[in-house]
Structure 1
């Protein structure tokens, strides 16, 4: 599924490449004309009519290509974000709020030695970690440990 913005970026890229090519051709023609003239006053028309506009087209083409690539990358990010947001977890109906469901519901409390948070046992931050140990109630009461903002264990659980 391509977004409309993604389709509008390609003409900008093509215009940039065309301007870059036309600028290169004009610069080559200007150089060829200047190289055949011995006197500076006969070289100026070639510089004014070919080389300077050619250099301007090269700069404009480079700007268009840079802008087009940035817009293309932004369009792809938006498309991927749209696909990510559109994906619903299995077993949920579209439009239902699944954010209200807690991430962890276990009653067992764990902590990581040297850490500053205490967690439910099924919290994604400590689940499966061998170094997680049961919470020392003295550390919780002393204020040395804070509840995890992800699993939000209640203080009544300890």
Structure 2
């Protein structure tokens, strides 16, 4: 079945041996038509997405003639498909890019915060170790500590230098 016109410049059924009957639901089982707003929007969406828009053009040509429908469909494709649809896709792409940047900045902030916490913990541990070294050096300087000595009873010069270096290091901190 195909649409036909009873009058005007549309397709006339009597010319090719067919007859026009009432009660035909229309193309695509009655889904593709401009009879009400909902189905008209669906048909326009079908044309804008360029899925079968030529079939719709030919059905409209069969129903009302081919003098004027091409103006509507060409302008619909140019404005709707190439301009408005790309504009919508551009806006969606921009929104997704913005959300991706937000997620990246949240991840960077989380990494920075974790690094800060680790640095604070490390500083606390270093202070604790430095304090313990100071206590050990105080005990050694008072004679409470045990120093290793060689057979002659004198302390090795290398060991003394290391202790002095640790003491100097703890004072600098």
**Higher relative contact order structure (alpha carbons within 8 Å, sequence separation ≥ 6):** 1
Point out the structure with max Rg over C-alpha. 2
Q: When the two structures are superposed, what TM-score results if normalisation uses the length of structure 1? A: 0.34
